[in-house]
Amino acid sequence: MQTVPGILHDAIKSKVVSTLSFKAVRSTNLFSDSTILTKGANILAYKQQIPIERDTIMVFADDAPQYNWSHPCRYLLHDAKSGEFYREVQAQFPPYLTANAPKTFQAFHQPVRITDIGLHFPIRPILRCPIRWTKGQRYAVLFSGASNNRHTNDLEFLYRTLRDIYAFPAANIYVLNYDGSVNYNDNPKPVVNWPGDNTAYRMPINGKGTKADLDTVLDTLKAKLKIDDLLLIHTNNHGGHNGTESYLCTYSGADYLASAFADKLATLPKFNSLMVMMEQCHSGGFNSPILSHSTAAYTSVSSACEELKNSIGGADFDPFARDWIAAMTGNTPNGGALASNPDTDGTGKVSAREAHNYANAVKNAADTPVYSESAAAAGNYFLGQRYGIIWPIYCRILVEILNPYYLRKPIPEFYAILNEKLLPNLQPIEEKLGKATARQEAELRTALTTVIKKVFG
C-alpha cells in the first residue's frame, strides 16, 4: 500500500477546493484517501463499481451531506504521479456505506457537520392515560439496513414507544438492524447509550438489516396474522432510485425494490390494519405499490419524502421519523413537550394520519412528506385505543392515582408493571362501569385506588 506524498496530496486538495463555486465551498464536504489506488482496482460506491484506469489519488465530494443516501456525490480521480485531474464520476453513494472508513480516508474540507451529538437533559415525560388494545393482536417490524447512529436511534425510540406507551408484547416486535446488533456504521463509538435519555439501548435485535432477514420476518407473520390484527412496519436508513422505482438499502445482499416489497406484502393473509412509516430517501415511491398490494382492510403509508427526493438526516435522529414517533409517544425523545397536540380531533389517541400531519407540520424544510391511505377510515387507525367508557373521567382519576408510583420507579419497570400486571386487573372495573356517568366518580376512584395499591404495593 503506497502512501500519497504529502506535498502532492496538499496540492490536489487545494486545487479541488479552489474549483468549488461560492455556494459549494460552503455546502460540499470533501474527503481524500492518503493511499494510492492501483491500476485495475475498483472503487465500490455501494453497489456501483468505478474502475481505476491508472494509479490514482481519489477525492470524494459529498454535495448534499445533510441528507440520507442516496444523494448526489462525485469521485474526483487524479493521476498518482503528476496529480493531474483526469476523471469525474457522478454517483449516489459514498465508498463506505455499511462499513467504517479506513483511517486513510479523511475529511479535509467539511463546512457541513452533522455528527456532533447535541446534549439534551432528559426529562421524565408527563404520565398519560394508559393505552390498551381490546381485539386482535398487534405486530411491528422495525428495519434499518445500512445504519448510521441516527437510524438505530430512531428504531430505539419507536421500540420504547411500542413497549411502554402502547404495551406491544415484546415477542410481537421484530427489530432488524445493521449487522444483527445495535451497532451502526461510523461514529459516535463505542455504541453504549441511546441519546434520548442516555440509558442503554433496550431493543433486542432479531436479525440483520438485510432483504433475506426481512423476508423471513414477513414469512413468519404470514403464519400469525389474523383478521382482527394490526401490523406496523417502519423502514429506516438509506434508499435509492434506479430510474424506474425506489428501493430500500440493506446491510448486505440485495436491495429491496418497492415492487418486490409490495409483492411480498401481497403474500400476507387478510388482516385488519397495515400502518407503514418510511424514513429513507425516495421512500414516497413505496406508497402506491404498498396500497395496491396490501391485504389489510385498512392501509396507511407515511413517507419522509417524494419518490424522486431525498430525506434529511440529523446528528442523532432523522427529523421526520423522530417527529412521527414523538407524535405517537406524546413527547420528544428526551421527554420534552411537543410543538403542538397531534390529537387534533380530541379523541385522546393519535391516529396514523394525525402522526403524519404533526411530523409534516414541524418538518425540516428539506423533507417532502407523502401520505397515502386505502380509504378515509384507514388514516383513523391507531396503535392502541383509549378507554371507551367515560374515558376523560376514568383517565383523569387513573393518572392521578398512578402518578406517585410513576415518579418513584424507573420508567421501564413502571411500564412493565402497568402493562403486564395492572391493566389486566382493571378489566373487571371497566366491565362494571359499562354505562357509567360522572356521578359514579367516587366509586370509580375507590375501586381504582384499591387495585393500584394491590399491584404496586
Instruction: Indicate whether 214 and 334 sit together in one domain.
Output: yes
Peptide bond into 246 cis (omega under 30): no
Determine, yes or no, domain membership for 271.
yes
One digit per residue, pLDDT tens: the chain, 457 residues? 899 999 999 999 999 999 999 999 999 999 999 999 999 999 999 999 999 999 999 999 999 999 999 999 999 999 999 999 999 999 999 999 999 899 999 999 999 987 666 777 889 999 988 887 878 999 999 999 999 999 999 999 999 999 999 999 999 999 999 999 999 999 888 999 999 999 999 999 999 999 999 999 999 999 999 999 999 999 999 999 999 999 999 999 999 999 999 999 999 999 999 999 999 999 999 999 999 999 999 999 999 999 999 999 999 999 999 999 999 999 999 999 999 999 998 878 899 999 999 999 999 999 999 999 998 777 788 887 654 445 677 888 899 999 999 999 999 999 999 999 999 998 888 777 655 565 677 777 888 899 999 999 8
Instruction: Indicate whether 199 and 254 sit together in one domain.
Output: yes
Contact 296, 266 (CB under 8 A): no
- For the chain, what is the domain count? 3
pLDDT at residue 394, rounded to an integer: 82
Instruction: Indicate whether 187 and 42 sit together in one domain.
Output: no
Determine, yes or no, domain membership for 430.
yes
Determine, yes or no, domain membership for 385.
no
How many C-beta atoms surround the C-beta of residue 193 within 10 A? 12
pLDDT at residue 179, rounded to an integer: 98
C-alpha cell at 365: 424544510
How many C-beta atoms surround the C-beta of residue 19 within 10 A? 11
pLDDT at residue 207, rounded to an integer: 98
Per DSSP, helices labelled H in 296-364 are 319-329, 352-361
Residues 6+ apart with CB under 8 A from 367: 304, 305, 311, 312, 319, 320
What DSSP line would sit under 379-411, residue for residue?
Answer: GG-BSSB---SSHHHHHHHHHHHHHHHHHHS-H
Instruction: Indicate whether 256 and 401 sit together in one domain.
Output: no
Of 109, 129, 163, which closes a domain? 109
Determine, yes or no, domain membership for 120.
no
pLDDT at residue 290, rounded to an integer: 98
- For residue 266, give the CATH number of its domain: 3.40.50.1460
pLDDT at residue 245, rounded to an integer: 98
Determine, yes or no, domain membership for 121.
no
pLDDT at residue 389, rounded to an integer: 47
Domain range enclosing 47: 6-109
pTM: 0.92
pLDDT at residue 134, rounded to an integer: 78
- Compute the Cα dihedral for 411, 417, 423, 429 and give only its sign: negative
